[in-house]
C-alpha cells in the first residue's frame, strides 16, 4: 500500500507538470457516452482486422485499437509487467496456453467472464479448451478460447521431388504413419544429398512428439515437476536424439533470421506446422515460392501446439465493453473469420464443423485443404496438461537439444543438463 501511495504521489506530480500541455487521463471519456477506445494486446497474428471494423460499425461509439508484438517471447514479459504494475495491459489481452497457467494462479487480476454472461457459451467450445480457461473450482472464467494449434507437417515439394520422394500430400502423409517412419523417410532424404536438411531444428519435432505422448508432460496435474520420471518426456527425447544422430537436423534455430530465410531458400524440407504457422511460412517464403510448400498430416495421432485465449484484465476501465468484444471475437463466426485471415484454427466445435472451415483451402500451399487436414488433427486430440513453468522448462530442454546438435554434449550429458536446468527454473 505504501508503494501505491508513492506511485500515486508521483503520478499526481507528473500530472501537475504536464497539466499545461495535456489533461491527465483525458482519453477516459467517462464524461461522454461516445468515444470509448478498447485497446487489444496481441502477439503474432490474430487476424482480427476485419472483425474490428465489423464490430465498430455495429457498436457506435466503440473504437478498437490493437497493439501487437511479433514474438510471443517478447510479448510474455511485457504482459507480465503490465499485469504486475496494474497498468498498460489495455482492455483485452491475448494469453497463449503456455503462459495461461501462470496467470490462472492469480485469477483476481482478470475479470470473471462468467459475470458477463459467458456461461451460456460453453457449448461453443471444445470441452478441454473451455476448461483450460476456468479456475479449478469452476467459479471463475479467466479467458475464452480463440484458436488451437492444430498440427500439420509442412514440406517443400521441390526438395521432395529432388530426393525422389512423392510430392502429393496424400502420398506424403502415407510416408509417415508414425515418427519411426518419419525418421526412415528422413534418412532416405538425407541419402539423396539435396543440400537441404530434413527439418529445421529438433525443438519443434521434439515438442510434437511430446504432445502426443500422454495427458501431461513436464508437470503432473498437481503441478509437481516430473520431467525426469515421466516416461513420455524420455520417449520423445530419445526419438529426437535418434533423428539428430541420423543427421536429419539443420540446427537452424526457430525464429532466427536464418530460419526465416530458410523458408525462402529451401534450407530444410519439412517442418511441423501448427495451423497458425502457415501465415508465418507464407510471409517468410514470399510469393516467389508459392506452391512450393504444401501441408500433409502429421506423424502419429493428432497433436496440438499453442493456441490462445482472450481475457479482460481488471485494470481495464471498460470491463463490460471489453467482455462483450471478447465474446464477439471468440464466437464461432469470429473464429471462422480469424481462421480465414490468419489460419488460426478454431477452438469452437461449431466453427470446426462449419463448411466454411471444412472446405477451406489455402491457395499458397497448392490449394491444400487445410480446414480438413487440421480438423482431423484436432479431432484425434487428447488435451495435454501444462504446468506453471511449462514454457521456461521447454526452452531449457530445447537448448539442451541444440547443444547436442552442435556436438557440444553427448546425449546423456545433454539430458542431465536439461533436467538440472529444469529443476532449477521450476523451483
Partner 1 sequence: MTQLRERPVDGAQDGGPAAPTRRGRLLDRLDRTGSPYLFIAPFFVIFGVFGLFPLGYTAWISLHAWDISGDQGFVGFDNYATLFGDPDFWNAIFNTLGMLILSTVPQLVIALILANALNQRIKGLAFYRLAVLAPIVTSVAAVGIVFSQIFDRDAGMANGLLHLLGVPAIDWHADKWSSWIAISAMVNWRWIGYNALIYLAAMQAIPRDLYEAASIDGASKARQFWAITVPMIRPAVLFTVIVSTIGGMQLFTEPLIFGQGGFAISGGSLRQFQTVSMYMFEKAFRDFDYGYGSAVAWMILILIMILTLINFFLTRVRGGRA
Residue 392 as a binder of partner 1 (CB under 8 A): the answer is: yes
Residue 389 as a binder of partner 1 (CB under 8 A): the answer is: yes
Residue 253 as a binder of partner 1 (CB under 8 A): the answer is: yes
Comparing C-alpha atoms, which of 105, 86, 100, 95 is closest to residue 44? 95
Phi first, then psi, for residue 15 (nearest 5°) are: -60, -45
Residue 132 as a binder of partner 1 (CB under 8 A): the answer is: no
Cell of 77: 514479459
Residue 254 as a binder of partner 1 (CB under 8 A): the answer is: yes
User: Binding partner 1 by CB under 8 A: which of 53, 119, 161, 255?
Assistant: 255
Residue 264 as a binder of partner 1 (CB under 8 A): the answer is: no
Cell of 274: 501448427
Interacting residues with partner 1 between 7 and 26 (CB under 8 A): 10
Binding piece for partner 1, criterion CB under 8 A, among 56-64, 74-82, 208-216, 290-298: 74-82
What does DSSP assign to residue 134? B
Q: Are 404 and 414 in contact (CB under 8 A)?
A: yes
Chain centroid offset of residue 16 CA: 43
Q: Which residues contact 42 (CB under 8 A, 6 or more apart)?
A: 48, 66, 67, 68, 69, 75, 94
Q: Are 243 and 202 in contact (CB under 8 A)?
A: yes
Enumerate the β-bridge partners of residue 184: none
Closer CB to partner 1, residue 124 or residue 201? Answer: 201
Interacting residues with partner 1 between 95 and 114 (CB under 8 A): 102, 105-106, 109
The C-alpha atoms of residue 117 and residue 120 are separated, in whole angstroms, by 7
Task: State the alpha helices, DSSP H only, in 60-126.
Answer: 72-85, 97-104
Closer CB to partner 1, residue 312 or residue 397? Answer: 397
Closer CB to partner 1, residue 196 or residue 337? Answer: 196
Q: How many CB atoms lie within 10 A of CB 367?
A: 11
Residue 417 as a binder of partner 1 (CB under 8 A): the answer is: yes
Binding piece for partner 1, criterion CB under 8 A, among 20-28, 76-84, 292-300, 372-380: 76-84
Buried/exposed 244-277: b ≥16 CB within 10 Å, e otherwise: beeebbbbbbeeeeebbebbeebbbbbbbbbbbb
Which helix H or strand E contains 63, and what residues bound it?
A: strand 62-69
Residue 403 as a binder of partner 1 (CB under 8 A): the answer is: yes
User: Binding partner 1 by CB under 8 A: which of 56, 228, 333, 395?
Assistant: 395
Residue 192 as a binder of partner 1 (CB under 8 A): the answer is: no
CB of 254 to partner 1, least distance (A): 6
Closer CB to partner 1, residue 280 or residue 348? Answer: 280
Residue 335 as a binder of partner 1 (CB under 8 A): the answer is: no
Closer CB to partner 1, residue 65 or residue 106? Answer: 106
The C-alpha atoms of residue 259 and residue 42 are separated, in whole angstroms, by 23
Residue 94 as a binder of partner 1 (CB under 8 A): the answer is: no
Which helix H or strand E contains 349, and what residues bound it?
A: helix 349-353
Chain centroid offset of residue 234 CA: 24
Q: Count residues near partner 1 (CB under 8 A).
A: 39
User: Binding partner 1 by CB under 8 A: which of 25, 35, 70, 77?
Assistant: 77
User: Binding partner 1 by CB under 8 A: which of 5, 33, 407, 412?
Assistant: 407
Residue 218 as a binder of partner 1 (CB under 8 A): the answer is: no
Binding piece for partner 1, criterion CB under 8 A, among 51-59, 173-181, 255-263, 294-302: 255-263
Residue 350 as a binder of partner 1 (CB under 8 A): the answer is: no
| CA-based R_g, the chain, Å | 23
CB of 423 to partner 1, least distance (A): 12
36-43/62-69 β-pairing: parallel
Cell of 381: 486430440
User: Binding partner 1 by CB under 8 A: which of 50, 65, 67, 81?
Assistant: 81
Comparing C-alpha atoms, which of 55, 127, 37 is closest to residue 334? 55
Residue whose C-alpha cell reads 510479448 in the numeric block:
75
Residue 271 as a binder of partner 1 (CB under 8 A): the answer is: no
Cell of 397: 530442454
Residue 198 as a binder of partner 1 (CB under 8 A): the answer is: no
Closer CB to partner 1, residue 274 or residue 300? Answer: 274
Closer CB to partner 1, residue 190 or residue 253? Answer: 253
3-state secondary structure of 141: strand
Residues of this chain that bind partner 1 (CB under 8 A): 10, 71-73, 76-77, 80-81, 83-84, 102, 105-106, 109, 251, 253-259, 267, 389, 392, 395-396, 398-400, 402-403, 406-409, 417, 424-425
Amino acid at each position: 500500500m505504501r508503494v501505491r501511495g508513492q506511485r500515486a504521489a508521483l503520478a499526481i506530480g507528473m500530472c501537475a507538470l504536464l497539466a499545461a500541455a495535456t489533461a491527465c487521463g483525458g482519453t477516459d471519456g467517462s464524461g461522454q457516452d461516445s468515444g470509448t477506445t478498447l485497446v487489444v494486446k496481441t502477439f503474432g497474428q490474430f487476424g482480427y482486422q476485419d472483425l474490428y471494423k465489423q464490430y465498430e460499425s455495429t457498436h457506435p461509439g466503440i473504437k478498437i485499437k490493437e497493439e501487437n508484438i511479433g514474438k510471443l517471447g517478447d510479448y510474455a514479459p511485457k504482459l507480465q509487467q503490465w499485469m504486475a504494475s496494474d497498468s498498460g495491459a489495455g482492455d483485452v489481452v491475448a494469453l497463449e496456453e503456455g503462459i495461461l497457467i501462470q496467470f490462472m494462479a492469480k485469477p483476481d487480476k482478470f475479470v470473471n467472464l462468467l459475470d458477463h454472461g459467458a456461461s451460456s457459451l460453453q457449448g461453443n467450445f471444445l470441452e478441454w479448451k473451455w476448461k483450460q480457461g476456468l479456475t479449478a473450482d469452476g467459479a471463475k472464467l479467466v479467458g475464452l478460447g480463440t484458436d488451437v494449434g492444430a498440427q500439420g507437417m509442412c514440406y517443400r515439394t521441390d526438395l521432395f521431388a529432388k530426393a525422389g520422394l512423392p510430392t502429393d500430400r496424400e502420398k506424403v502423409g502415407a510416408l509417415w504413419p508414425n515418427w519411426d517412419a518419419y525418421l526412415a523417410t528422413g534418412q532416405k532424404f538425407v541419402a539423396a544429398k539435396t543440400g537441404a536438411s530434413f527439418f529445421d531444428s529438433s525443438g519443434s519435432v521434439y515438442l510434437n512428439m511430446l504432445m502426443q505422448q500422454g495427458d501431461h508432460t513436464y508437470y503432473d496435474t498437481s503441478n509437481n515437476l516430473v520431467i525426469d520420471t515421466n516416461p513420455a518426456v524420455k520417449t520423445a527425447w530419445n526419438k529426437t536424439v535418434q533423428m539428430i544422430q541420423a543427421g536429419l537436423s539443420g540446427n537452424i534455430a526457430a525464429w532466427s533470421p536464418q530460419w526465416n530465410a530458410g523458408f525462402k531458400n529451401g534450407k530444410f524440407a519439412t517442418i511441423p506446422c501448427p495451423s497458425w504457422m502457415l501465415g508465418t511460412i507464407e510471409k517468410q517464403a514470399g510469393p516467389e515460392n508459392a506452391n512450393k510448400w504444401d501441408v500433409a498430416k502429421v506423424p502419429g495421432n493428432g497433436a496440438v501446439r499453442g493456441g490462445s485465449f482472450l481475457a479482460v484484465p481488471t485494470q481495464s476501465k471498460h470491463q463490460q465493453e471489453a467482455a462483450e468484444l471478447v465474446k464477439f471475437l471468440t464466437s464461432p463466426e469470429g473464429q471462422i473469420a480469424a481462421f480465414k485471415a490468419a489460419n488460426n484454427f478454431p477452438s469452437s466445435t461449431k466453427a470446426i464443423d462449419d463448411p466454411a472451415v471444412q472446405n477451406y483451402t489455402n491457395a499458397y500451399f497448392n490449394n491444400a485443404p487445410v480446414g480438413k487436414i487440421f480438423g482431423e488433427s484436432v479431432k484425434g486430440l487428447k488435451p495435454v496438461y501444462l504446468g506453471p513453468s511449462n514454457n521456461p522448462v521447454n526452452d531449457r530442454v530445447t537448448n539442451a537439444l541444440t547443444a547436442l546438435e552442435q556436438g557440444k554434449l553427448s546425449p546423456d550429458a545433454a539430458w542431465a543438463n536439461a533436467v538440472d536446468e529444469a529443476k532449477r527454473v521450476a523451483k
